[in-house]
Structure 1
Amino acid sequence: MSERLSCIDAGSEYCPCHLAETNDCLICSQLQGKSFCDCNWSGVCIYQNFYWCGNKKNDVRTVVEGKIIERKRVHEEIVVFKLAVTKTLARQLKQPGSYVFLRDPEKPYFFNVPMSIMDANENTGEIHIAAQIIGPKTKSLLECKDKILIKGPYWNGVLGIKNLKITKGENVLIAARGIALAPSVLAIKYLLKNDNKITFIMDPGKLGMVFVHDYIKDLKLKTIELNFKEEKGVKDFSNILKNGNYSLVYSAGSDRFHKRVEKAIDEMEENIKFVITNNSHMCCGEGVCGSCSHKTKGGNTVKMCKCQLDAKELLEGRKVNG
């Protein structure tokens, strides 16, 4: 693999992973079957860790039982779960882009469904998740009474996370639509912690409502509601972008929504950092099943549950129309 790729799990307690055992590591050239070191990883040597582990993967994420503290129906299709977990897991899930797999304890493993974390509190050991009830997996969550199975933590729900984390004391524009309003809460809190000034563009989408008001009402940010499906909404967004001197734009929504945001950025002809939510289809979260596979410019197939790709490269590769 000649491309320089980055892995969200590199250097974590879950590295090396299953991919190291099959010579499919995203980072380590020797764990890609090569006989030499040609990685761009500046942390502790992944190959060395693999060797110390007896040529085996490190710890794997486990399934834990979470207690349902509250289940609130905020919309016909949206249910917000407030779940009790360990303080350690809650802390691990405070990062923007964090997600877990949820499942009804009475259902088999293939009912695991990925869910973005909307909020997390390590002091109380709580996580909040907004689930859009659509298919059999999400419908099964409504059958959970007191407990729910949780597998995590996973972190690759945001592409361009490095750009988000290095942004400090800047003007930031966040645009989110529909259910993607939920993962925007963690991003907002992280950016505010780094003294950024935030303008939050909220598109109610097909839901017809903004369900995160309770999570942002006490935060210091500017909020604006727009409809990106209307020409006026797109024009208003472009004007806000042009007049705000923003150094970073965070887009949360479908790939088509990302393209509309990207188009407005391109019209600026300025060096604005672009961060997007990862809309790849997650199934196992470990880079094994292949459901999140994406072909890069270099012709390599990577697993988007782990790989950090440039937002524009991903959208271009998917041939998404605005």
Structure 2
Amino acid sequence: MLCSQLHGKCFCDCLSWKGVCIYQEFNNNGNVAKKGRETFRCKVKEVAHLEGDILLIRFIAPHKLALDLVHPGSYVFIRTDENFYFDVPISIMESDIETDLVSLMIEIRGIKTKKLLDIKIDDEMVIRGPYWNGVFGLKSINELKDSKALVIARGIGMAPAIPVIRKLSNNKNALKIIMDKSPYKEVYVDEYLAQYTDGYEEINTIDKGKLSDEIKKTIEEEIKNGVKLIHVAGADILSYKVIEFLDSINQREVKVSCCNNAKMCCGEGVCGSCTARFQGHRVKRLCKVQTDPRNIFEGRRFI
């Protein structure tokens, strides 16, 4: 348990905790622990194998759950085993509140996700959620209005980028979309992008572990054109390199948001699977921490 007062101490020492106050929630609920996230049995309406290790699943969710999953950073756990520690966290690509149809694009990587290959149309999936911390820098995304933003998506990051693009578009921001389909053959989110943007540009973003010259040039040009926010949807190395590049050209005032790629298990900040260590022996639970990505990648111990 994280709360020092519930442990019997006389004061609060949640120095690195930026989420909901557990003690306050406990008091407000009549000194009874709040009920955890619910699980739902949802009917699968569509399954498509886009290429070797990419799976598209659409399922019907309860209307309240569909509403909750509209926001950027939303994700759910998919149950593939009776033991809930084997639940798979997957970001939401789209949640249609008119039809209650939720779309997921999943990259098959390990034993947990491989079980999803057995799912068929009309099967029932067990979903746990909703969760909302799949993106760092949500405050910057929500506050940006009538401005300009650059979205850089690579690989499977193209899927969780869609809710962010929708939010930025709805806030009347002019968007520049960069898609790097590597390592895949196609950009599989064309139909979603068409709803919110006039198009996108395909650029290779990573070259031998570093930002490509082309994406560096694009970032500099878009900043000159008035871009105030850069959203990075991809692996941590891409987010880290973009932040590093912005700092190198003295553009720290440009806000950054990015995907939360923590290895999650419980989603509640308890099990420790998502923890990362920072300078000063500080440990942060990345499934609950919501902050500027610079605070995540600067001072983080990668080894």
Interval containing the TM-score (normalised by the shorter chain): 0.7 to 0.9
Q: Which amino acid aligns with 2:159?
A: A
The answer to whether residue 264 in structure 2 is matched with residue 282 in structure 1 is yes
CA contact (8 A) 1:100 1:150 kept: yes
User: Which residue of 2 is the match for residue 269 of structure 1?
Assistant: 250
Describe the superposition over 1:239-294 as per-residue Cα deviations: whole angstroms up to 9, x where unpaired.
43343311111111111111221133224423111111111111110111111012
Aligned counterpart in structure 2 of residue 187 of structure 1, from 154, 161, 164: 164
* C-alpha distance in 2 between matches for 1:117 and 1:188: 13
Q: Say how many residue pairs are matched.
A: 295
* C-alpha distance in 2 between matches for 1:44 and 1:101: 21
Instruction: Note the C-alpha offset of 1:318.
Output: 3.1
Q: Which amino acid aligns with 1:264?
A: F
User: Which residue of 1 is the match for residue 36 of structure 2?
Assistant: 60
Q: Judging changes above 3 Å, is the alpha-carbon distance between structure 1 residues 33 and 194 closer, same or farther for their aligned structure 2 residues?
A: farther
CA contact (8 A) 1:197 1:221 kept: no
The answer to whether residue 207 in structure 2 is matched with residue 225 in structure 1 is no
Q: Judging changes above 3 Å, is the alpha-carbon distance between structure 1 residues 256 and 273 closer, same or farther for their aligned structure 2 residues?
A: same
Q: Judging changes above 3 Å, is the alpha-carbon distance between structure 1 residues 268 and 257 closer, same or farther for their aligned structure 2 residues?
A: same
The answer to whether residue 179 in structure 2 is matched with residue 202 in structure 1 is yes
Give TM-score, length-normalised by structure 2.
Answer: 0.88
CA contact (8 A) 1:199 1:221 kept: no
| Unmatched runs of 5 consecutive residues or more in structure 1 | 1-21
CA contact (8 A) 1:238 1:264 kept: no
* C-alpha distance in 2 between matches for 1:94 and 1:124: 13
Q: Which amino acid aligns with 1:35?
A: C
CA RMSD of aligned residues (A): 2.6
The answer to whether residue 224 in structure 2 is matched with residue 248 in structure 1 is no
Deviates more, 1:43-52 or 1:276-285: 43-52
Among all aligned residue pairs of Structure 1 and Structure 2, give the percentage whose two residues are the same amino acid: 37
Aligned counterpart in structure 1 of residue 115 of structure 2, from 140, 156, 160: 140
Instruction: Note the C-alpha offset of 1:173.
Output: 0.6
Aligned counterpart in structure 1 of residue 295 of structure 2, from 304, 313, 316: 313
CA contact (8 A) 1:99 1:155 kept: yes
User: Which residue of 1 is the match for residue 154 of structure 2?
Assistant: 177
Q: Which amino acid aligns with 2:229?
A: L
Q: Judging changes above 3 Å, is the alpha-carbon distance between structure 1 residues 311 and 33 closer, same or farther for their aligned structure 2 residues?
A: farther
User: Which residue of 2 is the match for residue 87 of structure 1?
Assistant: 63
Instruction: Note the C-alpha offset of 1:111.
Output: 2.8
CA contact (8 A) 2:179 2:203 kept: yes
CA contact (8 A) 1:283 1:289 kept: yes
| Unmatched runs of 5 consecutive residues or more in structure 2 | none
* C-alpha distance in 2 between matches for 1:55 and 1:296: 34
Q: Which amino acid aligns with 1:309?
A: T
User: Which residue of 1 is the match for residue 54 of structure 2?
Assistant: 78
Instruction: Note the C-alpha offset of 1:171.
Output: 0.3
Q: Which amino acid aligns with 2:156?
A: I
Aligned counterpart in structure 1 of residue 216 of structure 2, from 228, 235, 243: 235
The answer to whether residue 100 in structure 2 is matched with residue 125 in structure 1 is yes
Instruction: Note the C-alpha offset of 1:191.
Output: 0.9
